[in-house]
Amino acid sequence: MRVAITGAGLAGLSCGKYLADAGHTPIILECRDVLGGKVAAWKDDDGDWYETGLHIFFGAYPNILQLFKELGIEERLQWKEHSMIFNQPETPGTYSRFDFPDIPAPINGIIAILCNEDMLTWEEKVKFGLGLIPAIIHGQSYVEKMDRYSWSEWIKKQNIPPRVEKEVFIAMSKALNFINPDEISATVLLTALNRFLQEKNGSKMAFLDGPPTERLCKPIVDYITERGGEVRLNAPLKEIILNEDNTVKGFLLRGLNGEPDEMFEAHLYLSAIPVDILKLLLPQPWKRLDFARQLEGLEGVPVINLHLWFDRKLTDVDHLLFSRSDLLSVYADMSNTCKEYANQERSMLELVLAPAKDWISQSDENIIAATMEELNKLFPQHFIGENPTKLLKFHVVKTPRSVYKATPGRQAFRPSQKTPIANFYLAGDYTMQQYLGSMEGAVLSGKLAAQTIARDYPANIIIS
Ligand SMILES: Cc1cc2nc3c(=O)[nH]c(=O)nc-3n(C[C@H](O)[C@H](O)[C@H](O)COP(=O)(O)OP(=O)(O)OC[C@H]3O[C@@H](n4cnc5c(N)ncnc54)[C@H](O)[C@@H]3O)c2cc1C
């Protein structure tokens, strides 16, 4: 069957890939001239790449890892030492590490925590461990129930000292959802901790070896087209046109550059566009349906991704760093971490600015000035003296609505991939799957949607 998919982010592309595996014909319609959505990247006039987001792959991402394997591109993941590295704001220019030894979980995680003596006292570690006991005993069902609390509320409820939140979990919370612990649902952090502590390599991190658009999205497109599918750029969905019975008659695509609009018809239809845009495009008759009303509870969170090129090396750390700064979240020196951006002489820092709600409408120059102030604290030795490091150029990429804001209670609003409309399905990191708003969540949502379609309209091949 011909399945029209709107949106060529990881959810739409993964859905297309697994539909092709199932013997269907996906046609992916993307509004922009670039693949990847929130993993999109562009080349500037100097030939340097810049990206929508600094993206990290975890050992606890089974669906993405399987996808890389199925595409035959596993070697493109550059795995780093099994560690988590934090800046130490009190002693600028130094780092504190959690190093996971190569032994089974959860012992490797426990040793990593016990051996770190910079960030938490023994009493704090013991109290944190005791607070986690219900999550360890009751597992995911407990984790899901905790969606009624913010992380700050949960920490308090479990009698965990507030310093544990300040030292470790502000950074984790900003890294996972671009918001602070008083806003983020306890379910998000407990889910991540569960994976990191239960799976030996759960928290092991990898960087892609180049821009995701080229190194990940392109091979998926090739896979789809080799199997008879199609991916069209510059094909924005303008309106979902309905039949009299409120099923989908077609996707109306907006004509660009003076071209007329185009009615695109297929057997089945799937939305893999972000929830904020889908809400605007829902046809009137669907708005009274539960699945459409459910979407009203979800909204994307703002975030800003920064790229700064310097005239020399700032660090030789080949890993993700948790900045522990108020302004910034995680960052990495991509000249060390990523093969295609490698440079022996000069650093290119990619940094995530979060929470970004007060910065998203500010000028790029203001954002960069504030970031440079933070970098003076993180790398003081480089920005003082007679010959301070110079910023050569920068790019600022703003995403006003990125992944859904995972505040308490959001789990109840996440829709299934199957809708009550017989020929209309959903994919996207916000749809219900166990990996929250992430690349893994997006890929899994696309796969679940493809599996649902394959069950509803069987071809003769089964998706593993
Ligand atoms: C700064 C940043 C850092 C991140 N870091 C990480 C990380 O380290 N690890 C991790 O796992 N995840 C990370 N994420 C999250 C991850 O990028 C997303 O969860 C994932 O890429 C979302 O994929 P998606 O397909 O669901 O949505 P999207 O990527 O948003 O794809 C939706 C697509 O729909 C298209 N579209 C929109 N409107 C229309 C229309 N009208 N017609 C046709 N097409 C349309 C868009 O252009 C887009 O291509 C990060 C995100 C950001 C922004």
Residues 112, 197, single domain; the answer is yes
SS3 77: strand
Sequence-distant (≥ 6) Cβ neighbours of residue 230 within 8 angstroms: 25, 26, 27, 28, 224
C-alpha distances (whole Å) from 45 to each of 152, 231, 341 are 45, 26, 15
Convert the pLDDT of each residue in 109-160 to its tens digit.
999 999 998 899 999 999 999 999 998 888 889 999 999 999 999 999 999 9
Residues 236, 354, single domain; the answer is no
The total of structural domains in the chain comes to 3
Please count the CA atoms within 13 angstroms of the CA of 433 that sit on its side-chain side. 26
Provide long-range contacts, Cβ within 8 A and 24+ apart, for 128-137. Answer: 128/160, 128/164, 130/158, 130/159, 131/155, 131/158, 131/159, 131/160, 132/158, 132/193, 134/158, 135/190, 135/193, 135/194
Residues 377, 328, single domain; the answer is yes
Sequence-distant (≥ 6) Cβ neighbours of residue 310 within 8 angstroms: 346, 347, 348, 349, 389, 390, 391, 392
SS3 349: strand
**For a pocket test of ligand 1, which of 17, 55, 176 has the largest count of ligand atoms closer than 8 A to its C-beta?**
55
**Percent of the chain predicted with pLDDT > 70:** 99
Residue whose CA lies nearest to ligand 1 atom number 46: 37
Query: Is residue 452 lining ligand 1, measured as CB closer than 6 Å?
Result: no
Residue 257 structure tokens? 């550059």
Residues 198, 101, single domain; the answer is yes
Residues 382, 346, single domain; the answer is yes
Residue 122 lies in a domain: yes
Round the average pLDDT of the chain to a whole number and report it.
Answer: 95
Tell me what the mean pLDDT of segment 416-430 comes to: 97
Fill in the DSSP letter of residue 217.
Answer: I
Query: Is residue 428 lining ligand 1, measured as CB closer than 6 Å?
Result: yes
- What's the 149 CA to ligand 1 centre distance in angstroms? 26
Residues 275, 424, single domain; the answer is yes
**pLDDT given at position 463:** 47
Residues 346, 392, single domain; the answer is yes
Convert the pLDDT of each residue in 100-110 to its tens digit.
999 999 899 99
- What is the residue type of 310? F
**pLDDT given at position 89:** 86
**pLDDT given at position 464:** 45
- The model scores a pTM over 0.95: yes
Query: Is residue 433 lining ligand 1, measured as CB closer than 6 Å?
Result: no
Instruction: Choose one of 153, 175, 202: the last residue of a domain.
Output: 202
**pLDDT given at position 460:** 58
Find the domain containing 174 and state its range.
Answer: 97-202
Query: How many helices and strands, by DSSP H and E, does the chain display?
Result: 18, 20
Distance, CA of 414 to CA of 420 (rounded, Å): 15
Residues 190, 234, single domain; the answer is no
Does the pLDDT of residue 289 top 90, yes or no?
Answer: yes
Residue 352 lies in a domain: yes
Please count the CA atoms within 13 angstroms of the CA of 21 that sit on its side-chain side. 18
- What's the 286 CA to ligand 1 centre distance in angstroms? 25
| CB atoms inside a 10 Å sphere around CB 433 | 25
Residues 313, 436, single domain; the answer is no
Convert the pLDDT of each residue in 370-384 to its tens digit.
999 999 988 888 888
Query: Is residue 438 lining ligand 1, measured as CB closer than 6 Å?
Result: yes
Query: Is residue 9 lining ligand 1, measured as CB closer than 6 Å?
Result: yes
Query: Is residue 215 lining ligand 1, measured as CB closer than 6 Å?
Result: no
- What's the 121 CA to ligand 1 centre distance in angstroms? 39
Residue 441 lies in a domain: yes
The crossing angle, in degrees rounded to 10, of helices 10-21 and 439-456 is 40
SS3 386: coil
- What's the 211 CA to ligand 1 centre distance in angstroms? 14
Residues 328, 385, single domain; the answer is yes
| CB atoms inside a 10 Å sphere around CB 258 | 5
Residue whose CA lies nearest to ligand 1 atom number 17: 38
b/e string for 378-402 if b means 16 or more Cβ within 10 A?
A: bbeebbeeeeebeeeebbbbbbebb
SS3 382: helix
Interstrand relation of 303-310 and 41-43 (parallel, antiparallel or unpaired): unpaired
